[in-house]
A and B are shown apart, each in its own frame.
Chain A
């Protein structure tokens, strides 16, 4: 079960691995910079309508990054991590930790982004493994997904209990 769940996670499964591949019409140097310069990253990080009033990045191996995403409904989503590997403009490895309002981690991720040149374009592969603290992660991630915050904690917990008792 751990780490093998690539596409979807049932309620209760707390680990996942996701791989996403995209082709961008820009050379790897340019795409890599969009990932490693805060003034660029702050412009695209997060879903539509989200802004990143805090975006601090110490792009060195062992350096930390910190972003606070601001959802359209006003909710704040802080996340942080550390850079583990930086090979410009080919590879970026970092941890990504999302925290709740008390600063407790609800999601602990390890993300590898590779940039491959293909006819002047960039094939980007994002591979991320994450461990989530459920149900705290459900509420945070649902908010990040939809742009509005809500209390799903209780519902998710109750539904998990009902499922177990069924």
Chain B
């Protein structure tokens, strides 16, 4: 899994509106107008969200000039749904912090400092 691609995907997913758009697309492709209807939001704002999702590879747009239906691209979501990757990173990130913590403690010169 490419870590950079995963970061792009995760940051695109960090927004609740964009997640709601994706959830809508699970049931099939939809036009921008259809996607905008549940939100109190301008078409421009929705289009911005769609661009972010498109750049992240989470959706694809049809080619037809007027009716450019959006559809879900499952690929990047599989990485997000990769629970083993998340579980591994939990430990990796914790051990990163342990390393930093141990260095801080060493710097303080009190290897068994109870008072922090």
Contact = CB atoms under 8 A, between A and B. Distances in A.
A110 interface: no
Label chain B's interface by main secondary structure: helix
Interface stretch (B37-45, B59-67, B79-87): B79-87
Contact of B78 (A11, A137, A151): A11
B87 A22 contact: no
Interface secondary structure of A, over-half rule:
mixed
Among B86, B94, B95: residue with most chain A CB under 10 A: B86
Contacts, number: 137
Contact of B81 (A11, A47, A124, A130): A11
Nearest to B114: A39
Contacts of A39: 114, 116
A20 B91 contact: yes
Interface in B8-30: 10, 13-14, 16, 19, 22-23, 26
Interface of B: 1, 10, 13-14, 16, 19, 22-23, 26, 74, 77-78, 80-103, 105-106, 111-112, 114, 116
